[in-house]
């Protein structure tokens, strides 16, 4: 179970990344749409001669900004959520830190295989040679 402090901490991290992606998207929008607006200011007759091109360039700038901001926010949510889940699983002992050459991301530990008595079906503790229920040996 995740506590509220942990959840709010992750929420703040996502909020900060959202602000970063909004700034990046804003810069892209200003660069693309600002260039289009500067061209219109330099030559106001360009709108009359090519209104579709001007509108397309302006729309492209806005679309790219919204697209980059949206993808960035979703990627941030996934990253923060997965990192938080893995850290919680490490704390609970369900995950062990891997020492691979690729990185230090934790890996899931293999579940222990339970053995059952072939005679009566009782679950057997590890390393037993006799069934504690029926006494069968294996």
Condensed to tens digits (0 to 9), the pLDDT of residues 45-71 reads 877 888 898 888 889 999 999 999 999
- Per-position b or e across 125-135, b if 16+ CB within 10 A of its CB: eeeeeebeeee
- Which helix (H) or strand (E) segment is 69 a member of? helix 51-92
pLDDT for residue 92: 73
pLDDT for residue 104: 56
How far apart, in whole angstroms, are the C-alpha atoms of residue 56 and residue 60?
6
pLDDT average, residue stretch 126-134: 84
pLDDT for residue 17: 94
User: Looking at the whole model, is its pTM more than 0.85?
Assistant: no
Domain boundaries, the chain: 4-92
pLDDT for residue 106: 53
pLDDT average, residue stretch 13-37: 92
Sign of the torsion angle spanned by Cα atoms 69, 70, 75, 78: positive
- The single-letter DSSP state of residue 112 is P
pLDDT for residue 113: 63
């Amino acid at each position: 179970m995740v506590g509220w402090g942990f959840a709010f901490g992750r929420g703040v991290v996502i909020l900060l990344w959202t602000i970063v992606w909004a700034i990046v998207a804003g810069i892209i929008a200003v660069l693309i749409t600002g260039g289009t607006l500067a061209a219109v200011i330099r030559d106001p007759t360009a709108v009359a001669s090519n209104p579709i091109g001007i509108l397309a360039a302006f729309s492209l700038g806005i679309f790219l900004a919204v697209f980059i901001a949206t993808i960035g926010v979703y990627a941030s949510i996934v990253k923060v959520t997965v990192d938080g889940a893995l850290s919680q699983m490490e704390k609970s002992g369900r995950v062990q830190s891997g020492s691979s050459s690729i990185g230090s991301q934790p890996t899931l530990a293999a579940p222990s295989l339970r053995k059952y008595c072939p005679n009566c079906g009782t679950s057997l503790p590890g390393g037993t040679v006799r069934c504690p229920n029926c006494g069968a040996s294996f």
